[in-house]
């Protein structure tokens, strides 16, 4: 087990950290090529900026479009990085992910299907084709802690579990953020030139909208969750909350539209106040805001006839439903 020396956000000088890590990456990779996958989250965004500073065009950055991201997310993130001088190649892997998710209803199996498709089928193959000997990953200290404690198996933790990626996959992994926690990463991301929409970004789970669809994930159901999410993010953009989400339920309910019965879908809205995601309370949203959300969702998202707001705390709830 590798022991990792934590750098606390208060002790962090982000500019020194960036220079030091860029130097380390540069020395490790030499005149070779490195590869990384960008999701747009703060960790992978910060790593992309560090790798780009160290290697320039010798860092190949991919955005894997798994079909379960939010509206236009792959294009928006690639455009943002292009504006910062970083080329991002979008890989269309939507069919592969939907095929892997077909017929699966169990939450943990859904997460596993997303992880396996990402590593084995899509990104693993890209790494082999690229001949890169180094893979840059945005693993942070909390990922290592949670994985080692057996709370949540984070897909980006290998060495800490005693898996040698060189032996298992043929490449070495560099994890420049592994001494930091989220607050430290946000400081590094801000100092590396990323905009506030990146360094203060709301958390979004690895299994993406597949975590927001109860039961089997299909392209149609993802589209429903995606439309509801867009409305939610528009309406709550000025609200101070840790995280908010729109969830598509598996059960349908009777509604009526234009005088006719409509056996339709239900969307559940969750909005959380939390400091560290370990415990959370529902945000006290104004009733008028909730009503506006409901009106827009039933009008603008096809098939939705019911909208509810989740009011239980975590625990015993969790923030996501899946």
Residues that bind ligand XMP (CB under 6 A): 111, 203, 205-207, 243, 277, 314, 318-320
The least distance separating ligand XMP from the CB of residue 153, rounded to whole angstroms, comes to 9
For 286, residues 6+ apart whose C-beta sits below 8 A from its C-beta are none
CB atoms within 10 A of CB 45: 27
Asked if omega into 241 is within 30° of 0 (cis), the reply is no
Cβ distance to ligand XMP smaller for residue 154 or 179: 154
Shortest reach from residue 211's CB to ligand XMP, in Å: 6
Question: Residue with structure tokens 């930091």?
Answer: 180
Partners of 304 in the beta sheet? 265
Tokens encoding 40: 């747009």
Asked whether the beta carbons of 144 and 178 are under 8 A apart, the reply is: yes
Residue partners of 158: CB distance under 8 A and separation at least 6: 164, 165, 168, 173
Q: How far is CA 234 from CA 71, 112, 238, 274, 321, in A?
A: 12, 31, 9, 21, 22
Q: Is the peptide bond before 316 cis (omega within 30 degrees of 0)?
A: yes
C-beta of 96 vs 314, nearer to ligand XMP: 314
* DSSP code per residue over 191-233: HTT--HHHHTPPP--TTGGGGGB-SS--HHHHHHHHHHHHHHH
Q: Kindly tell me which of 88 and 319 has the beta carbon lying closer to ligand XMP.
A: 319
Burial class (CB in 10 A: 0-12, 13-18, 19+), 223: middle
Per the omega criterion (within 30 degrees of 0), is the bond before 101 cis?
no
272, 243 Cβ separation under 8 angstroms: yes
Reading the block at residue 250, the tokens are 């598996």
Tell me the closest approach of the beta carbon of residue 107 to ligand XMP, in angstroms: 9
Least Cα distance to 185 among 144, 241, 135, 142 occurs for: 142
Q: Is 167 exposed, middle or buried (0-12, 13-18, 19+ CB in 10 A)?
A: exposed
Q: How far is the CB of 261 from ligand XMP (least distance, A)?
A: 35
């Amino acid at each position: 087990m590798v022991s990792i020396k934590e750098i606390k956000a208060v002790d962090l000088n982000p500019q020194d950290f960036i220079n030091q890590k860029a130097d380390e990456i540069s020395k490790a990779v030499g005149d070779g090529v490195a590869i990384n996958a960008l999701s747009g989250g703060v960790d992978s965004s910060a790593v992309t900026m560090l790798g780009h500073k160290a290697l320039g065009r010798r860092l190949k950055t991919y955005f894997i479009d798994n079909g379960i991201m939010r509206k236009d997310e792959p294009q928006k993130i690639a455009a943002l990085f292009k504006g910062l001088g970083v080329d991002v190649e979008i890989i269309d892997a939507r069919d592969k992910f939907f095929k892997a998710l077909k017929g699966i209803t169990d939450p943990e199996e859904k997460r596993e299907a997303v992880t396996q498709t990402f590593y084995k089928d899509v990104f693993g193959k890209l790494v082999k084709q690229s001949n890169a000997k180094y893979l840059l990953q945005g693993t942070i200290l909390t990922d290592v802690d949670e994985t080692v404690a057996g709370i949540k198996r984070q897909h980006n933790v290998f060495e800490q579990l005693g898996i040698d990626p060189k032996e298992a996959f043929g490449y070495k992994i560099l994890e420049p953020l592994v001494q930091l926690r989220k607050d430290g990463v946000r400081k590094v991301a801000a100092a590396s030139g990323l905009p506030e929409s990146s360094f203060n970004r709301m958390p979004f789970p690895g299994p993406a909208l597949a975590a927001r669809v109860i039961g089997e994930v299909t392209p149609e159901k993802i589209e429903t969750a995606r439309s509801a999410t867009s409305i939610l993010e528009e309406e709550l953009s000025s609200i101070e909350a840790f995280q908010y989400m729109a969830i598509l339920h598996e059960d349908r309910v009777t509604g009526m539209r234009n005088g006719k019965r409509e056996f339709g879908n239900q969307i559940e809205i969750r909005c959380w106040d939390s400091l560290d995601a370990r415990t959370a309370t529902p945000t006290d949203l104004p009733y008028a805001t909730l009503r506006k959300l409901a009106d827009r969702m039933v009008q603008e998202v096809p098939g939705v006839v019911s909208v509810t707001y989740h009011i239980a705390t975590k625990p015993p709830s969790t923030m996501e439903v899946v």
